[in-house]
Amino acid sequence: MGEIFYAGERKPRPGAYYRVDRMDYPRADGVAGIGGCLFRADWGPLNTVVEVTKDNYQNVFGNSGTTDVMKFLGLGGASQILACRVGTGGKASELTLQGVGKITAGYAGAKAFTLTVRTKLTDEKTKEIIIYDGTKVFEKYEIAAGGDEAGALAKAMEASGNFTFEKTAEGEESTVDAVSQMVFTAGEDPTCTTESYSAGFEALEAYKMHVLVVDTEDTAVHALLQAELTKLSENVRFALGFVAEKTSEALAYEKKLEHAAGFNDQFMHYILNPRVKLNGEVIDGYQTAALAAGMVSSYKCMYSMTHKILPGVTGLAESVPIQALNGAAGNGAIALTMSRNKDVWMDSGINTLVTPPEGMDDGWKSIRRVRTRIELIERAMGAAEALVGNVDNDADGRAAVITAVNGVLKDMAAEGSILSGQAYEAADMAPDAGSAYFGIDVVDRESAERLYLTFRFQFSTSVD
* Phi-psi map region of 55: left, alpha, beta (phi>0 left; psi -120 to 50 alpha): alpha
| Same-domain check for residues 51 and 134 | no
Look at residue 10 in the predicted model and tell me its pLDDT.
57
Is the confidence at residue 151, as pLDDT, over 80? yes
- DSSP reduced 3-state for 216: coil
| Same-domain check for residues 232 and 171 | no
**What are the beta bridge partners of residue 36?**
82, 212
- DSSP reduced 3-state for 337: strand
**Phi, psi angles (nearest 5°) of residue 435:** -105, 135
| Same-domain check for residues 129 and 154 | yes
| Same-domain check for residues 267 and 227 | yes
CA-to-CA distance for 209 and 22, rounded, in angstroms? Answer: 32
pLDDT tens figures, 245-266: 999 988 999 999 999 999 999 9
Task: Find out whether 447 and 308 touch, Cβ atoms under 8 Å.
Answer: no
Residue 160's pLDDT band, with cuts at 50, 70 and 90, is: very high
Is the confidence at residue 17, as pLDDT, over 60? no
Residue 365 is assigned to a structural domain of this protein: no
| Same-domain check for residues 307 and 274 | yes
Residue 3 is assigned to a structural domain of this protein: no
Please identify, among 183, 206, 234, the residue that sits at the C-terminal boundary of a domain: 183
Task: Find out whether 368 and 410 touch, Cβ atoms under 8 Å.
Answer: no
Question: In sequence order, what are the residues at sequence separation of 6 or more whose Cβ sits closer than 8 angstroms to the Cβ of residue 40?
Answer: 65, 66, 85, 86, 87, 189, 190, 192, 215
Residue 144 belongs to what domain range?
A: 94-183
CA-to-CA distance for 233 and 266, rounded, in angstroms? Answer: 11
pLDDT tens figures, 214-237: 999 999 999 999 999 999 999 889
Beta strands across the sheet bearing 101-105:
94-97, 101-105, 163-167
Q: Which residues of 348-383 are buried (b: 16+ CB within 10 A; e: fewer)?
A: bbbbbbbeeeeeeeebbbbbbbbbbbbbbbbbbebb
- DSSP reduced 3-state for 204: helix
Please identify, among 286, 316, 346, the residue that sits at the C-terminal boundary of a domain: 346
Residue 457 is assigned to a structural domain of this protein: no
CA-to-CA distance for 380 and 449, rounded, in angstroms? Answer: 29
| Same-domain check for residues 160 and 209 | no
Residue 10 is assigned to a structural domain of this protein: no
Is the confidence at residue 13, as pLDDT, over 60? no
Question: In sequence order, what are the residues at sequence separation of 6 or more whose Cβ sits closer than 8 angstroms to the Cβ of residue 240?
Answer: 210, 211, 212, 229, 267, 268, 269, 293, 296, 351, 367, 370, 371
Q: Which residues of 30-61 are buried (b: 16+ CB within 10 A; e: fewer)?
A: bebbbbbbbbbbbbbbbbebeebebeebbebb
SS (HEC) of 34-98: EEEEEECCCCCCECCEEEECCCCHHHHHCCCCCCHHHHHHHHHCCCEEEEEECCECCECCEEEEC
Q: What is the pTM of this model?
A: 0.88
Residue 397 is assigned to a structural domain of this protein: no
Residue type (1 letter), 160: S
Look at residue 301 in the predicted model and tell me its pLDDT.
95
CATH code, domain carrying 213: 3.40.50.11780
| Mean pLDDT computed over every residue of the chain | 92
Percent of the chain with pLDDT over 90: 87
| Same-domain check for residues 171 and 197 | no
Please identify, among 183, 213, 246, the residue that sits at the C-terminal boundary of a domain: 183
Residue 28 is assigned to a structural domain of this protein: no
CA-to-CA distance for 195 and 190, rounded, in angstroms? Answer: 13
| Same-domain check for residues 221 and 152 | no
CA-to-CA distance for 344 and 367, rounded, in angstroms? Answer: 18
pLDDT tens figures, 69-96: 999 999 999 999 999 999 999 999 999 9
* Phi-psi map region of 15: left, alpha, beta (phi>0 left; psi -120 to 50 alpha): left
Is the confidence at residue 212, as pLDDT, over 80? yes
| Same-domain check for residues 145 and 275 | no
Residue 173 is assigned to a structural domain of this protein: yes
Is the confidence at residue 299, as pLDDT, over 90? yes
| Same-domain check for residues 205 and 330 | yes
Look at residue 7 in the predicted model and tell me its pLDDT.
52
| Same-domain check for residues 150 and 278 | no
**Mean pLDDT in residue range 346-358:** 97
Residue 108 is assigned to a structural domain of this protein: yes
Is the confidence at residue 5, as pLDDT, over 90? no
Q: Give the chain's domain count.
A: 2
| Same-domain check for residues 65 and 103 | no
DSSP one-letter code for 331: G
**Mean pLDDT in residue range 433-458:** 93
pLDDT tens figures, 356-392: 999 899 999 999 999 999 999 999 999 999 999 999 9
**Phi, psi angles (nearest 5°) of residue 183:** -90, 135
CATH code, domain carrying 105: 2.60.40.4290
